[in-house]
Structure 1
Amino acid sequence: MVGLRDSFNMMCPCFRTKATGNEFVDPVVNRHKVYVKDVSPAQSVASTEPGSLRSSLRGPHSYSSQDYQAKPPGAEMFTMAELARATGNFNAQNKIGQGGFGMVYKGRLRDGRMVAIKRGKKDAYEQRLSVEFRTEVEMLSQVDHLNLGKLIGYVEEGNERILVVEYVPNGNLGEHLDGTYGKVLDMNTRLDIAIDVAHALTYLHLYADRPIIHRDIKSSNILLTDTYRAKVADFGFSRVGPSTDVGATHVSTQVKGTAGYLDPEYLNTYQLNTKSDVYSFGILLVEIFTGRRPIELKRPSDERVTVRWAFRKFVEGKVSDILDPKLEKTPAALSIIERLAELAFACSAPTKADRPSMKKAAEVLWEIRKDYLVEHQKEVKVKAERSESIRMESARSEMSADAQAALHQTSNRRRPW
């Protein structure tokens, strides 16, 4: 990162937001480059040498090569009667969410399985929703990975479009970062979640039958289990990526996604590739360690686009200021925040050539997490030693007080009067 902060004066204009009568904040970061060395295409596809993704991600949150093989699960066909029974006739008490596709309900199938049931809207946008429905069925039936929401089945009857997917009981990442559930995600959990998402995207880009571009990576599409494992959901905008066999570098398509997470190069050229997901992941990573949404209109004008605000703090040497205030600024957290920021800014570089692959981003994240755990264990040890020292000192004080009391009693017994 040599010269990064020195270049801030030249780069300052890219953080200025023009205001009009109706305030509009452009979510696109126009100019910032932080480089992470990438691997060669040959390595990114087939490397199994020490230091590659498959060998370096061993541990409690790593996977074997079997996890990177697409195994179509075989979607089940349900009837409307079955799903009406599972949801109490789509009772409002069983509603657990709402998205662009429609309402999401919690349900229990006849065999006892808990599922999430996504019922498509029946309105003027039915044709668009039908396309999203078929896309999600097609994409989810091709993939099988621990960190991807699993398709169980679907219904397509008349004007009904319903997806039956794995039920993930602990809400989504955005809700947890907002404090909806009253519990603050600690740094270790946030790193685990980021690594899970990176694994899921690496699988989609490299190890599915054909590259799959999710196209809508955002915190509300990251579902969390009871043990805070992340599952990437909502494949309605997904596209099959360019065929590397014929040397294609992108697919040309209309822009779809969510403001604030959208790849600016894709936005300008309509050329979609796997690095578009990398950009969205970079924005998500900023969101994870700052606790701020990509666009926050209620903040001062120079803080409304979170990645611009965070980058400005970074080049000013005030990187600790961007850490989520709900997080304790421990030495372990402060020891990695600069590297996390560097990776996030590299992923969200304005052009795809300056972004790492998801595979490389996952490797860097794994190293950051490993170093964080080392520092965290040191902190735990120091705290334990300090607590033991305080306990011993307290015990000595109590013993001294008891000894003085005993001496006083003995002295009183010896007095003749």
Structure 2
Amino acid sequence: MTSPYTNHHRSSSDHRSTRSKVPTSPYASSELTTSTVSSRRNPVSAAAKSFAGIFAGCFTPPDPVSSKSLGDSEEFKSSSTVSNASRSGSQRGRGSNRGISISSYNIIQAKEPGIVKFTMEEIYQVTRNFSPSFKIGQGGFGAVYKAKLLDGTVVAVKRAKKSVYEKHLGVEFQSEIQTLSRVEHLNLVKFYGYLEQEDERIIVVEYVPNGTLREHLDCIHGSVLDLTSRLDIAIDVSHALTYLHMYIDHPIIHRDIKSSNILLTENFRAKVADFGFARQAPDGDSGMTHVSTQVKGTAGYLDPEYLKTYQLTEKSDVYSFGVLLVELVTGRRPIEPKFELRERITAKWAMKRFIDGDAISVLDPRLEQTAANTLALEKILELALQCLAPRRQNRPSMKRCAEVLWTIRKDFREQLSASNFRSYSTTSERNTSMKE
């Protein structure tokens, strides 16, 4: 059993590492509390951080009936999100150097005002000594448990494996906590803290209750995602990546964008998870255009130029996002080994059909072939084609992707409204005629 919260094992020796995922079991409910832990906060430092938070660039949820352009929307306006990291119930803020440090012993002093200290005993308490009944997943990183903190916050507790043969997990662990402690965004999984003491490595993050996007595309939860929801999810992910690429002090490349790393809330809002492969983007001020690094990621989503040159840029995330767009509209996985050869690589197959003028044939058969769906499908595939350009300079930025998707959603909603009005008018005329 795997979990969307786990970093799964991915060998990088062949540069085409992949991670498998099977359906998770229903989440176990727990009513746990932690002991009271004191926190300290420097009011001057807090005020400075709050002011700095104004420039965080976080997006707000989209207005479902808005017809504004993306550039003018509230989703591209910043907000201040710095807050007390209090265990007594206040919302925990995350920004540069604002991660919550979970240490095993109280003798380890907090280095930042407001940092909450947890003990290993508290982790044992909230997970009931890592009880199997609270376990919600298992992956290459380790096991994941669901727990509830004293303030009622439901969290996912990720406990890393202790195998001496999993040395790469230490690197992924450091990468994830360093990234999570620097970012805060509506469409990124929230970070509550971490523990690293002797052979224990634990990350505490937001619990997102509605499973992964891949599970919903597979209809594991019993219902079919309509195109409206899929488009909203694509926009949520584009906002998260735009934030990572543009709106933090040192931009971040996620490196593992895929449907199984996108968690959904009860309202089907998307949250990007799993930052084990994240890397800091090249510093544009220094003239750097890329980061030279070993290839990591998931087969089917990997940027071919990155595979060939070992040069990583933000456009590698854009390529993966293009694959995700195809996945959203087709419902297929990026690689389908059971299909005939010409259909095994989903993005390649879909792009050929689209270029040949047969876009409708790639639409997920569980979706209706309405005029609104068909038009939106063609526009989404057009954007995907740009994202999947072999050369990175020909791919759009994530901000541009978000702008295009915003327009597609606006037009899609207008067409749906017009279709519903025409349908209503026709029904009313028919009823009137029958009465006469």
Quickly name the TM-score band, shorter chain normalised: 0.7 to 0.9
Aligned to 1:140: 180
* CA drift at 1:239: 0.4
* CA drift at 1:208: 1.1
Question: What's the CA shift string for 1:291-333, capped at 9, x where partnerless?
Answer: 0000010111111100111012112211001111111111111
Aligned to 2:337: 297
Residue aligned with 2:320, SS = helix
Separation in 2, partners of 1:338, 1:67? 38
Aligned to 2:99: 74
Letter in 2 for 1:317: G
Change (3 A) 1:67 1:390: farther
Q: Residues 1-400 of structure 1: matches in 2 within 5 Å?
A: 56=70, 62-66=75-79, 71-72=95-96, 73-77=98-102, 78-393=118-433, 396=435
* CA drift at 1:96: 2.2
Name the structure where helix makes up a greater proportion of residues.
1
Q: Based on CA coordinates, which of the two structures has the bigger radius of gyration?
A: 1
Q: Contact (CA 8 Å) 1:237, 1:257: kept in 2 or not? A: yes
* CA drift at 1:351: 1.2
* CA drift at 1:182: 0.9
Separation in 2, partners of 1:362, 1:185? 20
Letter in 2 for 1:248: M
**RMSD, aligned α-carbons:** 2.2
Separation in 1, partners of 2:142, 2:330? 30
Aligned to 1:14: none
Separation in 1, partners of 2:337, 2:284? 40
Residue aligned with 1:184, SS = coil
Change (3 A) 1:57 1:189: farther
Q: Unaligned regions of 5+ residues in structure 2, if any?
A: 1-15, 18-56, 58-67, 83-93, 103-117
Separation in 1, partners of 2:264, 2:75? 17
Change (3 A) 1:371 1:55: closer
Separation in 2, partners of 1:236, 1:242? 18
Residue aligned with 2:79, SS = helix
Residue aligned with 2:202, SS = strand
Higher relative contact order (CA 8 A, sep 6+): 1
Aligned to 1:22: none
Separation in 2, partners of 1:334, 1:90? 49
* CA drift at 1:88: 2.7
Question: What's the CA shift string for 1:132-184, capped at 9, x where partnerless?
Answer: 11111101111111111111011112211110001111111010111010111
Separation in 1, partners of 2:174, 2:188? 18
* CA drift at 1:383: 2.3
Separation in 1, partners of 2:277, 2:129? 28
Q: Contact (CA 8 Å) 2:336, 2:345: kept in 1 or not? A: yes
Q: Unaligned regions of 5+ residues in structure 1, if any?
A: 1-25, 28-45, 47-53, 398-417
* CA drift at 1:100: 2.6
Aligned residues: 345
Residue aligned with 2:155, SS = strand
* CA drift at 1:391: 4.2
Change (3 A) 1:153 1:260: same
* CA drift at 1:58: 5.2
Q: Contact (CA 8 Å) 1:68, 1:145: kept in 2 or not? A: no
Aligned to 1:17: none
Q: Contact (CA 8 Å) 1:67, 1:145: kept in 2 or not? A: no
* CA drift at 1:354: 1.2
* CA drift at 1:93: 2.8
Separation in 1, partners of 2:280, 2:410? 33
Residue aligned with 1:62, SS = helix
Q: Contact (CA 8 Å) 2:69, 2:406: kept in 1 or not? A: no
Q: Contact (CA 8 Å) 1:279, 1:347: kept in 2 or not? A: yes
* CA drift at 1:65: 2.2
Question: What's the CA shift string for 1:331-353, capped at 9, x where partnerless?
Answer: 11111211110110110111101
Q: Contact (CA 8 Å) 2:69, 2:407: kept in 1 or not? A: no
Separation in 2, partners of 1:342, 1:113? 41
Q: Contact (CA 8 Å) 1:296, 1:304: kept in 2 or not? A: yes
Separation in 2, partners of 1:250, 1:68? 31
Separation in 1, partners of 2:246, 2:210? 29
Separation in 1, partners of 2:152, 2:257? 31
Aligned to 2:110: none
Separation in 2, partners of 1:362, 1:67? 22
Aligned to 1:3: none
Question: What's the CA shift string for 1:18-54, capped at 9, x where partnerless?
Answer: xxxxxxxx99xxxxxxxxxxxxxxxxxx9xxxxxxx9
Letter in 1 for 2:417: Q
Q: Contact (CA 8 Å) 1:68, 1:208: kept in 2 or not? A: no
TM-score, normalization by structure 1: 0.78
